[in-house]
Amino acid sequence: MEMQVWRDGRTRATDAAESFRAALAALGISEAAWSGIRPTVTFNGLPYVHLGMHPADVVEQMAEAMRDTEASAH
């Protein structure tokens, strides 16, 4: 894999992770609950975000926010 492919994947993964962290912060979820969210890149340059393990109440808040967003889109 070319280094630029990895860098591009890393940039996309980092941007996505930052967006997710910002969304959780906007929900009022403390940084301690989302500090484990990490950008990663596969061996072939695909960007991923590792979400890790989170407290059940935080996941419930995330699910509620997604349901609210889905409901307002219809």
Please list the rounded mean pLDDT of every run of 10 residues in the chain (74 residues). Answer: 92 96 90 90 95 90 86 75
pTM: 0.82
Tell me what pLDDT residue 74 has: 67
Cα-based distances in Å from 14 to 11, 22, 49, 61, 69: 5, 12, 8, 23, 23
Taking the alpha carbons at both ends of the chain, their separation in whole angstroms is 42
- Residues forming a β-bridge with 49: 39
What pLDDT is attached to residue 54? 87
* Residue 33 and residue 20 in contact, taking contact as beta carbons nearer than 8 Å: no
Tokens of 1: 């894999």
What residue numbers bound the domain in which 51 lies? 3-73
Number of domains observed in the structure of the chain: 1
pLDDT at 1: 74
